[in-house]
């Protein structure tokens, strides 16, 4: 049987054995930090793999290939080492969102069929009593808990561990994703698919001489894929337990970070930390990779003012489809500021226009429902050369499927393309622009409204730093748009609701203008670090009910 690279192995680190692989900032401690060299990280990952595979009589766990191991913790060096060690042992890593409500955490752990849980002290109480757990950072107190330092302490008889050689379709990770609503789905990702991701990104994005900063959670593809890339590139990475705008600024300055990965709300929060910014020198930053949400023109201007030496990369990816989709134009043509790039040469990309019947449907999400059951006749109706439509992609990074969900139609076409559910526009030069999520789209008075279109229009106002638009019920229109707006730092009070509406009516069709506008200091983030539209919709309904309660 053909074998492939184990995703948990590290590229030869002999030449950088004593280089620091990770600095990890301690949770809640502004100055506390830990560091680990590439050699020490490799050794720790091997010890974890050894104990996981060892007979229980030898203080091991007898983990069998393919068995799942949950990690429920904030970012840390030990989290990284556990990921590598579990995969080396042939196990499947299941990073769990610790911000899930307790019933959802229970569901995910149970659904994964986990044999074992790694956690930190703050989340130990969330581990089911029947499962053994290893606690990263505190004396274990639960009945099945054990201390990380004790379990993985060096021993005289430790030997080098040879990582298991997986088959091409062997699962390396299961990442649970559910968007803003619904039962979480376990996305099954193979060793082969994400070894390809690492190798492809390594050729496109040499990071060897960079100092990378990661603050997004490792249970999210954005951070996890970058951590694996950074290890393969032998780059030094600064790892924050969670994002905090002030500490993020301090970390850039203190560690002279050159390469950042962020989502637009993180940068927007940074811009409001004027006291911290006044003390920091951020000229060291040369690259900012923005993902998970589109960046606006006003926020882009704010980034360039804040980080004058930085190139901004608009990035796109999905858990199911991977982070390699778009690339810079091969002829050196500059990528337009709001574009994501051209189709990556190693990825097949196409836009699928919706049939007219789907666009006229009263279903709030017709294209998404239709896309899972598309027939050959539908394909003939849909324009494969569409300039705007739902993005479909095909690459070696695609998921294997959903864990234990035979009830769920797979979002693949008959010819193997993943249906993202995201609507894009392609310009004459072949650059792609994000329009919006199909499931964010709503119909108002018979007109389809993509919130992203309205947000980009609002953000052209110089006094608007960020805007988020949601649809709420309306007796006449069915649904109507309302907006939450973050004023620019330089304009904290002058912008009014009437100003925003006038700007919208001047620059867009009347049906797109927000019927209500509320000003907020920041937009709420979901656990995925995307704008929490569900929370905004609930907030809007509370605000509209308030005068009558």
Instruction: State which CATH number among 2.70.240.10, 3.40.50.980, 3.10.520.10, 3.40.640.10 fits the domain covering 33-189.
Output: 3.40.50.980
Q: What is the DSSP letter of 282?
A: -
Domain residue extents for the chain: 33-189, 346-437, 444-548
Residue 126 and residue 105 in contact, taking contact as beta carbons nearer than 8 Å? yes
Residue 74 and residue 242 in contact, taking contact as beta carbons nearer than 8 Å? yes
Q: 435 — phi, psi (to 5°)?
A: -100, -50
Residue the block writes with tokens 């249906």? 419
Residue 127 and residue 117 in contact, taking contact as beta carbons nearer than 8 Å? yes
User: Nearest CA to 8 among 101, 116, 82, 95?
Assistant: 82
Residue the block writes with tokens 């068995």? 67
CA 377 to CA 500: how far, in whole Å?
Answer: 44
CA 498 to CA 513: how far, in whole Å?
Answer: 11
DSSP 356-400: HHHHT-SSSSHHHHHHTT--HHHHHHS-TB-SEEEEEEE-TT---
Q: What share of the chain is helix, strand, coil (3-state, %, to 5)?
A: 30, 25, 45
One fold for 33-189 and 346-437: no
What whole-number percentage of the chain has pLDDT above 70?
89
Instruction: State which CATH number among 3.40.50.720, 3.40.50.300, 3.40.50.620, 2.30.38.10 fits the domain covering 346-437.
Output: 2.30.38.10
User: What's the whole-model pTM score?
Assistant: 0.82
User: Nearest CA to 205 among 101, 287, 134?
Assistant: 287
Hey, which residues does 188 pair with through a beta bridge? 174, 401
Instruction: Find the DSSP H helices in 256-375.
Output: 264-271, 274-279, 297-306, 356-359, 366-371
User: Nearest CA to 352 among 421, 265, 452, 442?
Assistant: 421
Residue 118 and residue 84 in contact, taking contact as beta carbons nearer than 8 Å? no
List per-residue pLDDT tens for the chain, 549 residues long: 667 889 999 878 888 999 999 999 976 554 557 899 999 999 999 999 999 998 887 778 999 999 999 999 999 999 999 999 999 999 999 999 998 888 889 999 999 999 999 999 999 999 999 999 999 987 667 777 889 999 999 988 777 789 999 998 999 999 998 644 467 899 999 999 999 999 999 998 889 889 999 998 999 888 999 999 999 999 999 999 988 999 999 999 999 999 998 877 788 888 889 899 999 999 999 999 987 666 777 778 888 888 989 998 889 999 999 999 999 988 878 888 889 999 999 999 999 986 543 443 333 333 333 333 333 334 433 445 668 899 999 999 999 999 998 888 899 999 999 999 888 999 999 999 988 777 777 878 767 788 888 888 898 898 888 899 999 888 777 789 999 999 887 666 688 999 999 999 988 888 889 999 999 988 887 766 678 888 898 999 889 876 544
The fold adopted by the segment(s) 444-548 is GMP Synthetase; Chain A, domain 3 (3.30.300)
């Amino acid at each position: 049987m053909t074998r492939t690279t184990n995703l948990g192995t590290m590229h030869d680190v002999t030449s950088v054995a004593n280089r620091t692989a990770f600095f990890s900032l301690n949770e809640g401690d502004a100055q506390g930090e830990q560091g680990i060299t590439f050699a020490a990280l490799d050794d720790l990952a091997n010890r974890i793999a050894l104990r996981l595979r060892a007979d229980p009589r030898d203080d091991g766990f007898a983990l069998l290939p393919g068995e799942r191991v949950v990690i429920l913790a904030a970012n840390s060096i030990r989290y990284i080492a556990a990921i590598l060690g579990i995969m080396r042992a042939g196990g499947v890593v299941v990073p769990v969102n610790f911000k899930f409500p307790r019933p959802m955490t229970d569901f995910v752990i149970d659904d994964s069929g986990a044999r074992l849980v790694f956690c930190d002290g703050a989340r130990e109480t969330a581990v089911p009593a029947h499962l053994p757990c290893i606690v990263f950072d505190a004396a274990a107190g639960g009945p099945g808990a054990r201390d990380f330092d004790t379990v993985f302490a060096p021993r005289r008889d430790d030997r080098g561990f040879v990582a298991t050689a997986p088959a091409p379709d062997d699962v390396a990770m299961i990442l649970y994703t559910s968007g803003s609503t619904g039962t979480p789905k376990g996305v099954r990702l193979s060793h082969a698919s994400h070894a390809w991701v690492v190798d492809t990104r390594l050729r496109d994005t040499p990071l060897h001489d960079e100092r990378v900063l990661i603050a997004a959670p490792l249970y999210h593809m954005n951070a996890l894929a970058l951590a694996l890339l950074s290890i393969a590139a032998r780059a030094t990475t600064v790892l924050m337990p969670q994002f905090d705008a002030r500490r993020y600024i301090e970390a850039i300055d203190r560690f002279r970070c050159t390469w950042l990965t962020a989502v637009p709300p993180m940068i927007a929060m940074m811009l409001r930390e004027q006291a911290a910014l006044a003390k920091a020198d951020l000229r060291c930053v040369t690259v900012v990779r923005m993902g998970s949400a589109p960046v606006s023109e006003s926020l882009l201007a704010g980034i360039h003012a804040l980080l004058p030496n930085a190139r901004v990369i608009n990035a796109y990816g999905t858990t199911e489809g991977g982070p390699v989709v778009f690339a810079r134009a091969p002829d050196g043509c500059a990528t337009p500021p709001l574009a994501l790039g051209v189709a990556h040469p190693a990825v097949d990309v196409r836009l699928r226009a919706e049939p007219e019947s789907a666009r006229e449907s009263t279903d709030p999400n017709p294209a998404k429902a239709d896309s899972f059951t598309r027939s050959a006749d539908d394909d003939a109706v849909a324009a494969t050369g569409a300039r705007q439509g739902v993005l479909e992609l095909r690459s070696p990074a695609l998921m294997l499927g959903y864990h234990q969900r035979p009830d769920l139609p797979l979002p693949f076409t008959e010819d193997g393309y993943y249906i993202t559910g995201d609507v894009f526009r392609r310009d004459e030069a072949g650059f792609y622009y994000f329009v919006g999520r199909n499931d964010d789209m709503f119909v108002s008075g018979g007109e389809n409204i993509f919130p992203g279109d309205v947000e980009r229009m609002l953000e052209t106002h110089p006094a608007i730093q960020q805007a988020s638009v949601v649809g709420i019920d309306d007796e006449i229109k069915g649904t109507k748009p309302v907006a939450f707006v973050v004023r620019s730092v330089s304009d904290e009070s002058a912008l009014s609701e009437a100003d925003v509406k006038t700007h919208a009516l001047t620059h867009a069709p009347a049906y797109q203008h927000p019927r209500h506008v509320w000003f907020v200091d920041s937009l709420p983030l979901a656990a995925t670090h995307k704008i929490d539209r569900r929370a905004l919709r609930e907030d809007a309904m509370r605000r509209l009910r308030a005068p009558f309660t």
